[in-house]
């Protein structure tokens, strides 16, 4: 149990008396939840700040959770403790000046957090863990050896819960596929043991598969306030919002899943309200960072909770699962606030022109900086793109975005303003064919016509695989006469993932006994494991796993002991999983060499050719320019049917179709050195 909470359990339904509060008024207490299936749910403790800290902002306080959903919340607001320890130059509130932290400043801040009074950010007291403690099984169902569809299963003594439920974009070989999601078959086989799902943050690679998951599993979903808002928007599109138990949590809050307890810890990322999770198990504490960076000057979010990570490290952490995305990049990532300085320079440079900025719809810190620059330079802001409109509308409602009255204008009304009075924030930073920026580049956007008076900023780095699409959009915009700024030209983007020095800081704070790199391709996992070895973790204590591997953890050892069914499930339209390797192979074949269809009708009694054969070509040859080849193909089909008729006896249509296919394949390859898909259609009449 936690030593610093205002409530300590003395028996079923009883609580010890609280110490008097000297400086702050009592906040309303949530109703005491009932016991939760599979484990005991604890009521949130009162959010009493540690002495010397400010009370938490009311804007970020969620509604009281229903009974049986959440457990107690850590009273000490560690991010504010850490913030108080920063040098004044590194703080920088909204609208204030701040510089991105240097490596030296970062190390100093981490050291300050490590030296902080333990009671300021105390992790819960861990129970005694003997050598006979039951093993914890960690099963990654996505996110390893790939970028996307993150999902990790934790299992102990028959209790299970999940961290994240993401999707990923299909690669260029997955013709016609809309989305890729994890394989849920192992979860289906253990459906009764699954207690719930916790989400680290609101990016698609962590929440994108939720609609498909929740159609099969009726379990509660726990997430922070902004993440809940993004999930709710998504579930409403699929008609699942009313039937889903979506529970809002705060950093520091604890959730019980049977014999395991999960506590959220604030981290920085390219979206607000991101959290890591500390998982208290019979074998020891496991920390999964989720996507993180260490940003000492965030724009709208609070700083990563270094004090709590350090306190967990002081008490002892069994294993760390950490974000490996930028493990190949040395040094520290730039602060999100540094992008604001770039925007200031570019806004000054774009005097007299209309500014169009494309960025990720979820990057609310960047959108806030764009709004701040628009206010500074006396411009109105218009929003374009469905996801951008949905996300910004929700963020304004929840208080994550702020703008003076009358600054935001409808995209339909931009014709009322001169170009130099406007900033348009749009989707399409990845060159997506149907995005707002792509439609602008193609001249098909209903409200925006790009021309020589436009100054366009693409504030994002292309996701691997999207480079060609982004280049195509940039070229089209340049042809229309616009000036285009993108990341390789100017510092208009910074990563939301930790670089090597930040990864080292995390390892040094947490001091895990075992290390499991996650979230990245194999090269990222490998490099992260080398970084961990460089800060003193023995190589025998580092595990590089793959999706479907069962990682068993005890207080003394770690290893891969088994595998479970896993892989990729492809979503094509309304079909989920009905597109497999055979269908993809056929689609690939069609895309490369095209299709030939041979159509004929034979007499059901004699086998004599009644009509045809006719040849249809699609994507193979232009029939009017290959009349000789088409005539040969008809002749080959006719001869195969006539030989079958001459042999007499019972005709097998499948054998006849196979013979036509083989003969046509030989003819077409001999003449073209290509192998189209051949579809013989022979019917009896």
* Residues acting as catalytic residues: 323, 497
User: 95 in helix, strand or coil?
Assistant: coil
Counting beta carbons within 10 angstroms of the beta carbon of residue 682, is it exposed (0 to 12), middle (13 to 18) or buried (19 or more)? Answer: buried
Please tell me the distance from the alpha carbon of residue 323 to that of residue 618, in angstroms, as a whole number. 47
∠ CA 151-197-310, nearest 5°, is 80
Neighbours of 519 (CB within 10 A): 33
Tokens read off for 307: 């004090």
What is the rounded distance in angstroms from the CA atom of residue 612 to the CA atom of residue 199?
A: 61
Please give the helix or strand (H or E) that residue 600 lies within, else none.
strand 595-602
**Rounded CA separation 601/649 (Å):** 18
Cβ pair 444, 436 in contact under 8 A: no
For 313, other C-beta atoms within 10 Å of its C-beta total 21
Partners of 577 in beta bridges: none
- Partner residues linked to 160 by β-bridges: 155, 194
Rounded to an integer, what distance in angstroms lies between the CA atom of residue 656 and that of residue 661? 9
Angle of helix 306-315 relative to helix 103-114, nearest 10 degrees, comes to 50
* Sequence-ordered list of residues with C-beta below 8 angstroms from that of 153, at least 6 positions apart, any chain: 137, 138, 139, 140, 141, 160, 161, 162, 186, 187
User: Element (H or E) spanning 589, and its range?
Assistant: helix 581-593
Q: Report how far Cα 657 is from the mean position of its chain's Cα atoms.
A: 47
CA distance 236 to 589: 38
Q: Which residues are annotated as a binding site for substrate?
A: 493-497
CA distance 602 to 611: 7
Q: What is the distance between the alpha carbons of residues 209 and 490, in angstroms, rounded to a whole number?
A: 34
User: What residues are designated binding site?
Assistant: 493-497
* Nearest-angstrom CA–CA distance, 98 and 297: 7
């Amino acid at each position: 149990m936690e030593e610093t909470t205002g409530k300590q359990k003395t028996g079923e339904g009883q609580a010890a008396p609280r110490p008097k509060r000297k400086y702050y008024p009592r906040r309303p207490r949530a109703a005491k939840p009932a016991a939760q299936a599979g484990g005991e749910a604890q009521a949130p403790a009162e959010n009493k700040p540690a002495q010397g800290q400010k009370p938490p902002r009311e804007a970020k306080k969620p509604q009281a959770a229903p009974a049986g959903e959440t457990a107690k919340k850590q009273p000490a607001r560690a991010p504010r403790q850490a913030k108080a320890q920063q040098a004044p130059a590194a703080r920088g509130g909204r609208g204030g000046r701040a510089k991105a932290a240097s490596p030296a400043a970062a190390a100093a801040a981490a050291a300050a957090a490590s030296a902080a009074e333990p009671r300021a950010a105390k992790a819960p007291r861990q129970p005694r863990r003997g050598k006979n403690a039951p093993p914890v099984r960690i099963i990654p169902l996505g996110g390893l050896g790939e970028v996307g569809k993150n999902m990790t299963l934790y299992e102990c003594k028959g209790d299970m819960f999940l961290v994240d439920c993401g999707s990923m974009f299909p690669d260029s070989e997955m013709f016609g596929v809309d989305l890729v999601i994890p394989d849920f078959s192992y979860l289906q086989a253990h459906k009764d043991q699954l207690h719930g799902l916790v989400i680290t943050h609101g990016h698609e690679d962590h929440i994108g598969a939720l609609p498909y998951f929740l159609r099969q599993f009726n379990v509660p979903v726990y997430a922070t306030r902004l993440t809940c808002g993004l999930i709710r928007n998504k579930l409403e599109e699929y008609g699942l919002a009313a039937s889903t138990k979506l529970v809002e949590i705060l950093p520091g809050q604890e959730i019980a899943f049977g014999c395991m307890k999960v506590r959220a810890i604030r981290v920085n990322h390219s979206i607000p309200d991101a959290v890591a999770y500390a998982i208290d198990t019979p074998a020891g504490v496991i920390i999964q960072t989720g996507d993180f960076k260490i940003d000492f000057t965030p724009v709208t979010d609070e700083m990563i909770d270094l004090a709590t990570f350090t306190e967990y490290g002081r008490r002892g952490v069994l294993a760390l699962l950490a974000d490996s995305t930028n493990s190949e990049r040395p040094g520290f990532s730039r602060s999100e606030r540094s992008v604001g300085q770039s925007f200031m320079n570019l806004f000054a440079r774009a005097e007299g022109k209309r500014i169009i900025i494309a960025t990720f719809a979820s990057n609310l810190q960047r959108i806030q900086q764009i709004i701040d620059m628009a206010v500074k330079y006396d411009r109105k802001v218009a929003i374009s793109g469905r996801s951008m409109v949905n996300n910004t509308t929700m963020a304004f409602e929840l208080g994550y975005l702020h703008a003076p009255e009358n600054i935001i204008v409808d995209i339909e009304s931009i014709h009322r303003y001169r170009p130099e009075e406007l900033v348009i924030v749009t989707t399409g930073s990845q060159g997506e064919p149907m995005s707002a920026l792509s439609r602008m580049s193609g001249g098909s956007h209903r409200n925006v016509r790009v021309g020589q008076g436009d100054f366009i900023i693409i504030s994002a780095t292309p996701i691997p695989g999207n480079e060609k699409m982004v280049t195509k959009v940039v070229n089209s915009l340049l042809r229309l006469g616009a000036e285009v700024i993108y990341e390789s030209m100017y510092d208009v983007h910074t990563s939301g993932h930790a670089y090597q020095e930040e990864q080292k800081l995390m390892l040094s704070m947490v001091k895990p006994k075992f290390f499991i790199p996650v979230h990245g391709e194999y090269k990222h996992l490998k490099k992260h494991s080398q970084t961990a070895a460089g800060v003193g973790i023995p190589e025998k204590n580092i595990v590089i796993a793959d999706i479907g591997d069962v990682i068993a953890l005890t207080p003394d050892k770690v290893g891969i002991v088994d595998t479970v069914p896993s892989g990729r499930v492809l979503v094509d339209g309304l079909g989920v999983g009905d597109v497999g390797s055979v269908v993809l192979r056929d689609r690939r074949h069609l895309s490369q060499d095209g299709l030939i269809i041979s159509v004929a009708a034979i007499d059901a009694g004699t086998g004599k050719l009644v009509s045809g054969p006719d040849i249809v070509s699609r994507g193979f040859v232009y029939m009017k320019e290959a009349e000789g080849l088409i005539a040969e193909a008809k002749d080959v089909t006719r001869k195969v049917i006539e030989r079958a008729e001459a042999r007499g006896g019972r005709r097998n249509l499948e054998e006849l179709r196979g013979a036509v296919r083989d003969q046509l394949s030989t003819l077409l390859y001999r003449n073209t050195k290509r192998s189209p898909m051949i579809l013989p259609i022979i019917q009896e009449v």
